Structure 1
Amino acid sequence: MQMDKQQVLFNAARTLFLEHGFKKTNIAAITKQANVAVGTFYKYYDSKEQIFYEVYQAENEAAKHRIVSQVNTNQSPKDIIKQFIKAIIQTSEQNAILAEWYRNTEVSQLIMEYDKNKDGWQNSFVYSFLIENIQRWREIGQFRQDIDMETTLALFNALVVVDNHKEEIGTGNYPQMLEILADMIVDGLSTKE
C-alpha cells in the first residue's frame, strides 16, 4: 500500500527540519526529499510555515506524552513540577524541531500565531495531567483549600504566558527562571506542614 502523499511530505519535512532547521529548509528541498512535484506540496500545505507548524505540533505532542508517562507522580508536587519542567527543557534542547521554539524568534512567533487559531493548550494532554494532579493534591491536603481551582489553574497558566514571552525575559536565563517561577507557584499553593 502506497503512503499518502501528504504523509510523505510531512515525513520529508520532519526529516529536513530535524537535520537542517527551519531557516535552511525550503519547499523545493521538501518536495525533492518526498519525491513529489512542488505543485503537489501546495495541494496539501499553503506554505513552509504551515507544514513546519504541523510537524512542530506532532513533535510537541509526542514529547509531552513521553514526558508525562515518565513522571513519577509519587513525589511531592514541587518535585513533580520540577521533573516535568526539566524534562520539557531537556527534550526541547535535544530535538532540533522543538528547539526552534527557544532559538528562533521568527519560529516562536509563527507558532504563537498559528496557536491563536486553535482551541488552546487547555484542551491538551498536559493540561489534563495537570488538572488531575492538582485535584489529587487538593484532596490529600498538599494544596491549600482557600485558593479555588480556577485561581490555582490560572497560576499554572501564567507559566504558559511567560513561555510565550521568553524573548522579553531573556532566553539566556529562561530555563532557570521558569523552574524558579514554578517552584514559587507550588510553594504558594502548598499547605505548610
Structure 2
Amino acid sequence: MEDTKADIFNCAKELFSTKGYKDTNISDITKKVGIGTGTFYKYYASKDELFLEIYLKENEELKKSIMKSVKLDGDPIKIVQEIIANNLDGMRSNPILKEWYNRDLFSKLEKEFYKLGGIKRINELMNGSLMEIIKAWKAQGKLRDDIDDDMILAIFSSIPYIDIHKEELGIQYFPRILEYLEEFIMKGLTDCRQK
C-alpha cells in the first residue's frame, strides 16, 4: 500500500513539475501510476491535498538545504538576507514551489495549506535551527540580549506569515516587502546599543 502512495506522490510530482498544477488532473496521475481513480481516492481526498503534500515536502527540502549552507560566522544581517534570498530563489526556480505565487491558485492552496498544518510544519523545521542561531549570535554579542530568545524566534517565525498574506498586502510588493522587513528586523535586533 505504501508503494502505491509513493508512486502516486512521485508521478504527481513529476507531472506537476512539467505540466503545472492547473494542467495536471487526477486522470493524468492515475494513468501514469497505472491505477484506477478509486485507488487514488484511497490515499488522497483531492488533487489539492496531494499537491500540497508535495509542496510541503519540496519546501521542507529547500529549507533544510538552505540551513545546511548557512555560515553563521558572518554578519547576522547579511546571513538573514542570504537565507531570505536563497529561499526566494529556491521558490522561483522550483516549478512546484513557484505555484505558491500563482494568483489564480493561491487562495485555493492557502486554505488547504492551513488545513494540512503547513505553517506548523515549516515552523517546526525552522525553529530548531533558528534557536541555535539566536543563541550563538547572542553569545557572540551580535544580537540584543534584552529580548528573550523565544521572542526573537517569534519575530523570525512571523516572516512566513507575511508571505502567506501577500494578496491582502498587495502581491505587487513581493518579494521586496520581505527584503525590507528582514532588513528592518535585523537592524533592530543587532543594534546592541538599544539596551
- TM-score, L = length of structure 2: 0.89
Asked whether the equivalents of residues 121 and 127 of structure 1 are also in contact (C-alpha less than 8 Å), the reply is: no
Asked whether the equivalents of residues 16 and 24 of structure 2 are also in contact (C-alpha less than 8 Å), the reply is: yes
* Aligned residue number for residue 115 of structure 1: 114
* Aligned residue number for residue 26 of structure 1: 25
Asked whether the equivalents of residues 84 and 179 of structure 2 are also in contact (C-alpha less than 8 Å), the reply is: yes
* Aligned residue number for residue 93 of structure 1: 92
Q: Secondary structure at the match of 1:25?
A: coil
* Aligned residue number for residue 73 of structure 1: 72
Asked whether the equivalents of residues 66 and 86 of structure 2 are also in contact (C-alpha less than 8 Å), the reply is: yes
Q: Aligned partners of 1:152 and 1:105: how far apart in 2?
A: 34
* Aligned residue number for residue 52 of structure 2: 53
Q: Aligned partners of 2:13 and 2:96: how far apart in 1?
A: 8
* Aligned residue number for residue 63 of structure 2: 64
The range that moved more, 90-99 or 154-163, is 154-163
Change in 2 beyond 3 A, CA 1:122/1:102: closer
Q: Aligned partners of 1:3 and 1:155: how far apart in 2?
A: 39
* Aligned residue number for residue 130 of structure 1: 130
The range that moved more, 116-125 or 12-21, is 116-125
Per-residue deviation, residues 64-88 of structure 1 (Å, max 9, x unmatched) = 1111111222211111100000000
What letter matches 2:146 in structure 1?
D
* Aligned residue number for residue 38 of structure 1: 37
* Aligned residue number for residue 147 of structure 2: 147
Gaps spanning 5+ residues in structure 2: where? none
Asked whether the equivalents of residues 102 and 108 of structure 1 are also in contact (C-alpha less than 8 Å), the reply is: no
Asked whether the equivalents of residues 141 and 191 of structure 1 are also in contact (C-alpha less than 8 Å), the reply is: no
Per-residue deviation, residues 43-67 of structure 1 (Å, max 9, x unmatched) = 1111101111111111111111111
Residue 108 (structure 2) pairs with residue 102 (structure 1): no
Gaps spanning 5+ residues in structure 1: where? none
Q: Say how many residue pairs are matched.
A: 192
Identity of aligned residues (%): 37
Give the ranges of 4+ consecutive aligned residues of structure 1 lying more than 4 Å apart after TM superposition.
none
Q: Aligned partners of 2:129 and 2:107: how far apart in 1?
A: 24
* Aligned residue number for residue 175 of structure 1: 175
Q: Aligned partners of 1:122 and 1:47: how far apart in 2?
A: 22
Structure 1 residue 123: Cα displacement: 5.0
- TM-score, L = length of structure 1: 0.90
What letter matches 1:140 in structure 2?
Q
Q: Aligned partners of 2:104 and 2:71: how far apart in 1?
A: 33
